[in-house]
Amino acid sequence: MKVGDDWELCFPELPNISCWKPPSNWAETLFINIVLYSISALTAVLNLFIIISVSHFRQLHTPTNILLLSLAVSDSLVGLLLMPAGALTGTHCWLFGYFGCSLFRFVSDIILSASVVNMVLISVDRYVAICDPLHYTTRITVKRVQFCVCFLWCCSVAYNSYFFLLHFNQQIYFLPCYGDCVILRDTIGAVLDLVLNFFVPVTVIIVLYTRVFVVAVSQARAMRSNIIAVTKQISVTKKAKKSELKAARTLGVLVVVFLICFTPSYFLTLVGNNSVSHSNGNFILYLYYFNSCLNPVIYALFYPWFRKTVKLIVTLQILQPCSCEANIL
């Protein structure tokens, strides 16, 4: 790192191992922190609405909404834990030591892995609903989706625990200096993470949603033109519900926004952290975090039930007896 004459040590009492920090404008730093912590609080609150809505109202206990619930859990953790800690990494000085940095990256990797697999499951859900609607209710059930969600979180914890333990047992992670929180993995670990957390899931998502888009367009054209089906397959596609097509479009927007916010973070893995300036690296990190705040906004724009449940939650009507049986849809 190139150090200017006016830079200061993060920890003056440790001159030999401390990182350096550039001079900062206190007004600019205060403004950035206010913005970041406000977005953090907003992210946590909006995703809490999703969690309460899907958990409380029985009409929303559907396979698709269970996946949205799981995604909201990971997004709320981003708002509660990662955004505040990520704001500290932007100050050039990490104040919580090696263990705190390792724990932060461990939790961050768990949430990242869970979010990616959630998006894959959402793509699979829409693929079956649009491309094989006759078998959707038998293949995609609430219990199966609940099992898949629990399994994905367990796998995410187990997968990232392996690297976390290696950090302490084999010391394949290291920090450039005390006060930094950029954890580097060995080549094998970095390649494995890139393949399992990026290339494979992104490829699956793109392939499935490309197929969903093609089938959804053909179904929409068939319904508009009232073409009489001459084969069983055409008859099946004609009967696809408009709500399923709308859900596919809504979740398609969700997936696209996720990929836009998620992909740049792995760009750093490909080019190396040293190839990107500190400010650009922070922007890429905050862009990924900001996706967790955008997801509930997308629900509010496309799902009337979400706006209705938020009103019921804010006005405390969910505390009334039998409110879980309310007509939401």
Q: Is 184 left (phi over 0), alpha (psi -120 to 50) or beta?
A: beta
Cα–Cα distances (Å) from 265 to 85, 106, 221, in that order, read 17, 16, 38
Q: Are 67 and 118 in contact (CB under 8 A)?
A: yes
| The pLDDT of residue 57 is above 80 | yes
Domain count, the chain: 1
Between 39-53, 78-92, 117-131, the lowest mean confidence (pLDDT) is in: 78-92
The answer to whether residue 291 is domain-embedded is yes
- pLDDT level of residue 152 (50, 70, 90 thresholds): very high
What is the model's pTM? 0.83
- The helix or strand, by DSSP H or E, that contains position 21, with its residue range, turns out to be strand 20-21
What b/e readout covers 217-245, taking b as 16+ CB neighbours within 10 angstroms?
A: eebeebeeeeeeeeeeeeebbeebeeebb
The answer to whether residue 155 is domain-embedded is yes
| The pLDDT of residue 8 is above 80 | no
pLDDT digits (tens, 9 = 90+) for 199-237: 898 899 889 888 888 887 776 666 666 544 444 444 444
Position 235 scores a pLDDT of 46
The answer to whether residue 174 is domain-embedded is yes
| The pLDDT of residue 322 is above 60 | yes
The answer to whether residue 109 is domain-embedded is yes
Q: Report the alpha-carbon distance of residue 260 to residue 160 in Å, rounded.
A: 24
The answer to whether residue 7 is domain-embedded is no
Cβ atoms within 10 A of the Cβ of 11, count? 14
Q: Are 50 and 299 in contact (CB under 8 A)?
A: yes
- Six-digit token string for 191: 């390649």
Q: What is the CATH number of the domain that holds 47?
A: 1.20.1070.10
Residue whose C-alpha is closest to residue 7's, from 95, 19, 225, 195: 19
The answer to whether residue 127 is domain-embedded is yes
Q: Is 201 left (phi over 0), alpha (psi -120 to 50) or beta?
A: alpha
- The helix or strand, by DSSP H or E, that contains position 9, with its residue range, turns out to be strand 8-9
**Domain residues for 168?**
36-325
- pLDDT level of residue 44 (50, 70, 90 thresholds): very high
The answer to whether residue 257 is domain-embedded is yes
**Average pLDDT value for the chain:** 79
- pLDDT level of residue 49 (50, 70, 90 thresholds): very high
The answer to whether residue 20 is domain-embedded is no
Q: Report the alpha-carbon distance of residue 270 to residue 292 in Å, rounded.
A: 23
Q: Say whether 276 sits in a helix, a strand or coil.
A: coil
Residue whose C-alpha is closest to residue 292's, from 67, 45, 55, 121: 45
Q: Say whether 316 sits in a helix, a strand or coil.
A: coil
Which comes out higher in pLDDT, residue 8 or 147? 147
Position 47 scores a pLDDT of 93
